[in-house]
Amino acid sequence: MKIAISGKGGVGKTTIMALLANEFKKNGKDVLVIDADPSPHMAETLGVKHPEEIRPIADMTKLLVERSGKTEGSPMYNMNPEVNDMLVDFMISHDGMKLMVLGAIQTGDKGCACPESNVLRRMLTKLLLSEDQVVLLDMEAGVEHLGRGTIAGIDHLLVVVIPSKSSIRTALKVKKLAEDVKIPKISFVGNLIQDEEDKSFLESGLGVRPIAFFKDSQSIRKAERQEVAVTTLKNAADSAPSELLQKLMA
């Protein structure tokens, strides 16, 4: 199963994806997490001690250009770069899970992340998974990755939404673009929920009830500030990660 997560910036998608990855691991799955956010934080969220030592794919500029088939002076890219060896070369293991980081645009004149996006798209479409394997993809905030078709190879898109009108507007736009690129399954996940009124607000604004609700957790907020892995917290999200996993498996 290949699952991606998206949503407006600041809604907590990285935290939810880390908790979901840990839940899959506890259920015996072979988990690969891919951090495809240009401002990556998944390594810290999972508790990787030296995230700066991870070799992001975006740092391999020459290799990416070669793989994506771009020639100097040409705006066109080959949409099917070879990526088999990248699955090993850019992967680390941590706490029973695997992690890859696509990488960040480091300078203002770097421009479009087209080579990185093409490699990622090819990687997703080439991955053949067994029943015990799951790939979790933490996407950048907003909708740009959907415009590039980066996640066209996934099975299920989770759209994280918090109880605010701006978050609902972004979530509905993400859903529309995801439908345009033919993602088979799209679901909303509520976050920063304080009470039943928040749940009802989301359901009314989205037109459908989210498949899981994550509470507004002070312990998760403190863990991020103290650089503590959210996966080590006990009951910080109550049963929400388990309930989300069950809905996905169903």
- Residue 53 has which token pair? 């030592």
Domain residue extents for the chain: 2-48+91-105+128-249
pLDDT at 236: 83
Question: Maximum CA pair distance of the chain?
Answer: 56
- Tokens 């090819």 sit at which residue? 122
CB 170 within 8 A of CB 204: no
pLDDT at 211: 98
pLDDT in tens, 30-61: 999 988 877 778 999 999 988 877 887 766 66
Angle, alpha carbons 151-54-16 (nearest 5°):
50
- Residue 16's closest CA among 193, 194, 195? 193
Q: Tell me which amino acid residue 174 is.
A: V
pLDDT at 235: 84
Give one word for 14, left, alpha or beta, with left for phi > 0 and alpha for psi -120 to 50. Answer: alpha
CB 22 within 8 A of CB 125: no
pLDDT at 129: 72
Residue ranges for the chain with pLDDT beneath 70:
58-62, 64-65, 67-86, 104-123, 125-128, 142-152
The edge-to-edge listing of strands for the beta sheet with 2-7 is 91-94, 97-101, 30-36, 133-139, 2-7, 156-161, 185-193, 212-215
- Chain-centre distance for alpha carbon 40: 10
pLDDT at 213: 98
Backbone angles phi, psi at 136, to 5 degrees: -115, 125
d(C-alpha 174, C-alpha 62), whole Å: 32
pLDDT at 186: 96
Secondary structure E strands in 12-104: 30-36, 91-94, 97-101
pLDDT in tens, 177-208: 889 888 899 999 999 999 999 999 999 999 99
pLDDT at 68: 66
Fold of 2-48+91-105+128-249: Rossmann fold (3.40.50)
CB 190 within 8 A of CB 199: yes
pLDDT at 71: 59
CB 155 within 8 A of CB 3: yes
- Residue 13 has which token pair? 């998608």
